Structure 1
């Protein structure tokens, strides 16, 4: 399934155009960043994955292009979900999290991104830091309702095995930590 142009610099599959536009609306600083959202047959250990397109790494921060892969069928352990059966708000939350990764990538040099990739492959401690950073970016951008909805979809779903829920609890922000971040963000906004 091919992607369609949804704005000047963004593409997404027609079936999730609404969710993609909604998630992108929280990240105005990504308005001019090339982002291609597309379905992929399968992504190991994940439902979505954001990464720079390899060829664009040599162009520097301003010339980078990114791709967000979405698993066509989301398989969580032995349970399979079609993206069509996942609530819209959950898809927006997942995309918001991946856009958080892209914000993080935008703050890194090319060499820094290469180091990031190696650390992500080999260090569970670094995976936890990267995933929590992406959640934090989404919350700072006002996406807390979507992030909480996504977490609840996973953690409250009887069809999702405990092993996957434990992975989410280990690497990502908890609902309680999200509430603390919201309080910190709101206090910072009051000061401004």
Structure 2
């Protein structure tokens, strides 16, 4: 009886393992289809700006706020950088976006407000979280420690995420979240986000961020960054192909 019991136990475990494997394989395939569909629709939305000089744009902040600040809860310290990045995303002009700061591992993150996802799509709000404190290795690339041009670039990257989420359903957002644990999906997802940032005219600002991050981060972290994000050379190539 004991061997029979073990056989039945093993069979159940194998079946459960097979079901889980099929489940995660289905999630992965569905997630990849989202990425592949996205790669087909990347296009140039906005003309690029070679360089944003803070002193040149500070006198324009009131007009920028009037043009791009509607339905936006901004952070005073980064208001100009956010508004300049928003100027490259006309599709976000009316979209409610809440910027706020908190201690977080990632320097920035963009996601829909979870509770708003329970309502109809037109009532969604999007959050952009800017980290005030992280682990020691990540501190050099927190927004507060970046040059102005790089700040605009990385904020633009997060807005590219927000733009991507605009036509996604709750289930597609869940699918993205589940797939993000897979390294291949994460790399495709983030590199496509970099390409979308470039397509919106913020390629030079993203390049500024990429160069700066690789100057100040430990080698292990920069190697990891190159796995998931476009390298400076790849950004330059994409800029030349796009503009």
Q: TM-score normalized by structure 1?
A: 0.84
CA distance in 1, matches of 2:93, 2:143: 25
User: Judging changes above 3 Å, is the alpha-carbon distance between structure 1 residues 78 and 146 closer, same or farther for their aligned structure 2 residues?
Assistant: closer
- Name stretches of at least 5 consecutive residues in structure 2 with no aligned partner: 1-64
Asked if residue 140 in structure 1 is aligned to residue 202 in structure 2, the reply is no
Deviation at 1:179, TM superposition (A): 2.5
Deviation at 1:51, TM superposition (A): 0.7
Matched with 1:18 is: 80
CA contact (8 A) 2:107 2:142 kept: no
User: Judging changes above 3 Å, is the alpha-carbon distance between structure 1 residues 184 and 56 closer, same or farther for their aligned structure 2 residues?
Assistant: same
Matched with 1:87 is: 147
CA distance in 1, matches of 2:82, 2:138: 27
Q: Quick one: which of 204, 218, 222 aligns to 1:161?
A: 218
CA distance in 1, matches of 2:78, 2:109: 16
Matched with 1:27 is: 89
Deviation at 1:82, TM superposition (A): 6.3
CA contact (8 A) 2:133 2:139 kept: no
Provide the aligned length of Structure 1 versus Structure 2.
176
User: Judging changes above 3 Å, is the alpha-carbon distance between structure 1 residues 182 and 84 closer, same or farther for their aligned structure 2 residues?
Assistant: closer
CA distance in 2, matches of 1:82, 1:99: 17
Q: TM-score normalized by structure 2?
A: 0.67
User: Judging changes above 3 Å, is the alpha-carbon distance between structure 1 residues 169 and 8 closer, same or farther for their aligned structure 2 residues?
Assistant: same
Q: Quick one: which of 40, 43, 46 aligns to 2:102?
A: 40
Describe the SS at the equivalent of 2:128. Answer: strand
Query: Whose helix fraction is larger, Structure 1's or Structure 2's?
Result: 2
Asked if residue 183 in structure 1 is aligned to residue 240 in structure 2, the reply is yes
Matched with 2:160 is: 100
Deviation at 1:136, TM superposition (A): 1.1
What's the Cα RMSD here? 1.8
CA distance in 2, matches of 1:13, 1:180: 33
Counting only pairs closer than 5 Å after superposition, residues 103-142 of structure 1 correspond to structure 2 as 103-120=163-180, 122-142=181-201
User: Judging changes above 3 Å, is the alpha-carbon distance between structure 1 residues 25 and 79 closer, same or farther for their aligned structure 2 residues?
Assistant: closer
Query: Whose strand fraction is larger, Structure 1's or Structure 2's?
Result: 1
Residue-by-residue CA offset, 1:13-38 (whole Å, 9 max, x unaligned): 11111111111111111001111111
CA contact (8 A) 1:49 1:70 kept: yes
Residue-by-residue CA offset, 1:137-181 (whole Å, 9 max, x unaligned): 110000011100000111122xx2111101111100122222232
CA distance in 2, matches of 1:135, 1:82: 18
Matched with 2:54 is: none
